[in-house]
Structure 1
Amino acid sequence: MIVDCHVNIWNEEHVLPLFREQMARIRPGGMSLKADADTLNEAMRGVDRAIVFALRYGDSAGIESDDETTAACVRKYPEKFTGFAYADPRRADCMELLRHAVETLGLKGVKFGPIYNGVPLDDPRMTPIYEYCQKNDLPLTMHMGTTFGANAPLDLGRAIHVDAVARRYPDLKMILAHMGHPWHEECIVCIRKQPNVYAEVSAIFYRPWQFWNTLVCAQEYLVTDKIFWGTDFPFSGVEESIAGLRNVNAVVEGTGLPRVADETIERILHSNPFERWWHRGSPV
């Protein structure tokens, strides 16, 4: 079984000029801006199931999607997608939106991007989100690592800040997206230290040297069983993400440097969040 644990969704009207401007700067070769439900379903043909969520990064990345878009995708393709809500603690109606997403729309987890919303993990506005997630057995996926957004404060993407939250909420399952790149060691020591914290490898295979270092480090810390696979679609696709993982050792071929074990590669590729991220068992 292959599960993509990190898929973004938005419709055309959710893409702001800021996103197009920043994509032109960081990806001059261009990329598809389409990430609607039908596009996602076609793109995810190569996986058994995918976790999908909207982004509310309007003022930093230039995408302002919503939970209704996520829920509509899940309703249209229920055999393929499981939906997570998005939490923006800057909004006065954040908890109202979160309760609606979970209790009315039926979404099964929560996504948050501290670096994009400019809200530190220890901000008091995060407390009701953590408490709601822990009470309702909702895994919390967080963007960890750097970003292209010029308005996003880099320090808020560092996984070291998760440690204190994990100790405060030991029953809250947290997933650190993108292995905290380029601070992957902080991510790895955090998931090693805290039983309720996991990580995932979406959107780092296209930095081959960093990707190899990350997985070798994870092997040395014996945490490869806590790492999950994803794409970060549409920023990267299924086939290229699988190929990037399986070819991770290409950068060290012919050297005496250690290799990422085949067992590690296959364990990550076939990792199943539905077996690990919920205390009460799989939501699907």
Structure 2
Amino acid sequence: MTGRAYCDCHVNIWNEEHVLPLYNQLLGRVRAGELAPKADAETLYDEMANVEKAIVFTLRYGDAIGIEGDDATTAAAVRKYPDKFVGFAYVDPRRADCMEMLRHGIEDLGLKGAKFGPIYNGVHLADPRLEPVYEYLQKYNLPLTMHMGTTFARNAPVELGRAIHVEPIAMKYPDLTMVMAHMGHPWFDEAIVVARKQPNVWLENSALFYRPWQYYNMLVLAEEYRVADKIFFGTDFPFARVDESVAGHLAVNRLVEGTPMPKVSGETIQRILRSNPLEHWWKGDNPLQPARG
């Protein structure tokens, strides 16, 4: 099977000044030895040599994991490498100027979607502070990528990462494209059944291959529930690299070779690898067009 991804839909960007001491303190429970040393624009561009496109966004997880980035950094990377990067704004509903920052990111900086981590910011998806965010994104046909699943950070309430919380929002805002990053791990069964029921909910597989038994079960279950066509490829760079993510994805069946266990189909493996969010997440609008005046 061929091993070149089309789009990495989950790429984090930050500069050295965005890294707080807490980040290095927490790396003991992360794949610290495998992490890329930097996540600036030039590092990202070099890393993404083997993908056609990459969706990039910063993190505002200062009090959770010690990364406090800004949308200007994302926008600068897109301006420098417009043929490679599509930028998303970050949403932190705890801030009084949350909507002002979102509008600035979209309308002034030309970013094409939004990212939010409920578990990292300690804000439930049903929190009223997020309602204007959902309304704005739905109105302007902009996707929302959400970190759904657990994390290594101590200051991040686990319950807020559960994929089951996505469904009420998806039903209330049926024209809002919602993307569950990391397939809701370890609650991937919840993520899969929600994505099956709700046509505006999608999944992506970033930072999952290095738990091979869990990843294998995810894809088998996704095929059984007939939602494998709603899964997109991502890495979560710098927490996982492109080449290792591709290799791990292609080798998803290695644990069950020679056994009667079900195999993930070659069609599913290749479809995820070649998945193109630019054809699905914007409902027909081209995200590479210039920002609205």
Which aligned pairs between 1:1-284 and structure 2 lie closer than 5 A? 2-27=6-31, 29=33, 31-284=35-288
Residue 121 of structure 1: how far off its partner (Å): 0.4
Partner SS, residue 248 of structure 1 = coil
AA matched with 2:210? Y
Q: Deviations over 1:192-234 (max 9, x none)?
A: 0000000000000000000000000000000111110011000
CA distance in 2 between partners of 1:218 and 1:27 (Å):
26
CA distance 1:116–1:39, shift in 2 (3 Å): same
Q: Is the CA contact 2:36–2:241 (under 8 Å) kept in the aligned structure 1?
A: no
Is the CA contact (8 Å cut-off) linking 2:52 and 2:84 kept in structure 1?
A: yes
The 1-side partners of 2:147 and 2:281 are apart by: 16
How far does residue 13 in structure 1 lie from its aligned partner after superposition? 0.5
Name the Cα RMSD after superposition.
Answer: 1.0
- Structure 1: which amino acid aligns with 2:24? R
Name the aligned partner's letter for residue 65 of structure 1: G
CA shift digits 1:65-123 (9 cap, x unpaired): 01000000000000000000000000000000000000000000000000000000000
Task: Kindly provide the amino acid, as one letter, of the partner of residue 23 in structure 1.
Answer: L
Structure 2 stretches lacking a partner, 5+ long: 289-293
Structure 2 counterpart of 1:231, one-letter code = T
Deviation of the 1:254 alpha carbon: 1.5
| Deviation of 1:253 (Å) | 1.2
1:8 Cα offset (Å): 0.2
CA deviations 1:241-263 (Å, max 9, x no partner) are 11111100001111110000000
Return the TM-score normalized by structure 2. Answer: 0.95
Deviation at 1:283, TM superposition (A): 1.1
1:279 Cα offset (Å): 1.8
Aligned residues with identical type, % of pairs:
66
8 Å CA contact retained: 2:167, 2:198: yes
Letter in structure 1 aligned against 2:220 = V
CA contact (8 A) 1:24 1:30 kept: no
Bigger relative contact order (CA 8 A; separation at least 6): 2
Task: Write the letter of the residue equivalent to 2:232.
Answer: F
- 2:195 alignment partner AA: I
Partners of 1:82 and 1:135 in 2: how far apart?
Answer: 20
TM superposition shift of 1:28: 5.3
1: CA distance, partners of 2:74 / 2:182: 21
Separation in structure 2 between the aligned mates of residue 282 and residue 164 of structure 1, nearest angstrom: 28
Q: Which amino acid aligns with 1:104?
A: D
1:137/1:280 contact within 8 Å kept: no
Q: TM-score, normalised by structure 1?
A: 0.98
